[in-house]
Amino acid sequence: MHIPSKLPDVGTTIFAVMTRLANEHGAINLSQGFPDFDCDPELIDHVHHYMRKGMNQYAPMQGILPLRERLVEKIATLYGATYDPDTEICITSGATEALFEAITAVVHPGDEVIVFEPAYDSYVPAIRLSGGQPVSIAMQPPDYRIPWDAVAQAISDRTRLIILNSPHNPTGAVLLEEDIEQLRRLVHGTDIVLLSDEVYEHIIFDGEPHRSLCRYPDLAERSFVVSSFGKTYHATGWKLGYCVAPLELMQEFQRVHQFVTFCSNTPVQYAYADYLAKKEKYLELPAFYQQKRDRFQELLRESRFRIVPCRGTYFQLLDYSEISDEPDMEFARRLTIEHGIAAIPPSVFYDRKNDYKVLRFCFAKTDETLERAAETLCKI
């Protein structure tokens, strides 16, 4: 029996590949983006409380109201944007689900979607499953800025969606005010929809503000904005995220959402609704992760790796061109097998497999883990 594949050129995700390789060789896993330290025990206590209280059945399709209310309050405080908690927000089982649903909701066969590369690996498969055509625009080291002239040339009457990601995984770049102005200019007077992946919104460094598309009314009115609890609260395995969008877009989003997961983990939603009252938990996150970024960079000063600027996320790109001219996938495999350090080769996030001789390392780790990893990296 032969079933034609809808994604014939898509294999196992690189995160699973490198994690499996790390496990096979007992390597320090700096590849997949999750902390090796636990979330706040108080947050776990909140989940236990609601489990014992009997909040163990289906939540409403769009998420429990207390959580939606807390989130729109938070967005209003941080970004000055007003969303209706009843009609313009939806809780999802992770941000990746929200991204899939936003893409599926608006992309029709033949539509074009502009994607900035290196790109998180769920974007393009979702576009293709919807019958859309990804239009890839490459960003290059060391600053990984969006080439807006190329964007202007790429926009056509078939452009339905532009996907943005700031702070950007895997490069650590962030949108600047001039990027926002360029974006405004290009979409003004068009029907182009925006999808803003902001899962690292609270992990941004050096006093730089997070330029959420929620901040800009003319952009917010055409935008899905997606974020994640897992990245903010060190609980990636709980898989909870959310999307905000104006009514017309959110209606289309929820038409898809109800047939994907319908609803998400109920006691965890109640726990987060309570925990969001502790604003310091997310307001202190930039300083928390900047300390880890700075520590990791300092530990590597004497290495042969060249440090690429990291302005957000908990990923650090390292240029290995002075060490080897191997393709990044080959060097990443050898680094794991021979030296016991697993990292991600960013070429897999480019349509044309652009190889700039850099690897992505996750520094959401304990100081002990970072020190052990850096000690090895400095010997290479």
Domain boundaries, the chain: 14-32+284-377, 42-278
Question: The tokens of 17 are what?
Answer: 């590949």
Quote the pLDDT of residue 139: 98
pTM: 0.97
Q: Residue for token digits 């690996």?
A: 121
User: 14-32+284-377 belongs to which homologous superfamily?
Assistant: Aspartate Aminotransferase, domain 1 (3.90.1150.10)
Quote the pLDDT of residue 135: 98
Average pLDDT for the chain: 97
Q: Residue for token digits 């108080």?
A: 42
Burial of 145 (0-12, 13-18, 19+ CB in 10 A): middle
- Convert the pLDDT of each residue in 157-174 to its tens digit: 999 999 999 999 999 999
Quote the pLDDT of residue 61: 98
- Convert the pLDDT of each residue in 302-348 to its tens digit: 999 999 999 999 999 999 999 999 999 999 999 999 999 999 999 99
Question: CB–CB of 104/127 below 8 Å?
Answer: no
Options 3.40.640.10, 3.40.1350.10, 2.60.260.20, 3.40.50.10880; CATH for 42-278 is 3.40.640.10
Quote the pLDDT of residue 129: 97
* Mean pLDDT, rounded, for 76-80: 98
Q: How far is CA 198 from CA 133, 283, 332, 345, in A?
A: 23, 15, 27, 22
Looking from the CA of 316 toward its CB, the CA atoms found within 13 Å total 27
List, in sequence order, the alpha helices (H) in the chain.
14-25, 41-52, 65-79, 95-106, 123-129, 148-154, 177-187, 217-220, 229-233, 247-257, 266-275, 280-283, 285-299, 328-339, 367-377
Same fold, 14-32+284-377 and 42-278: no
Cα–Cα distance measured from residue 308 to residue 171, given in angstroms and rounded to the nearest whole number: 8
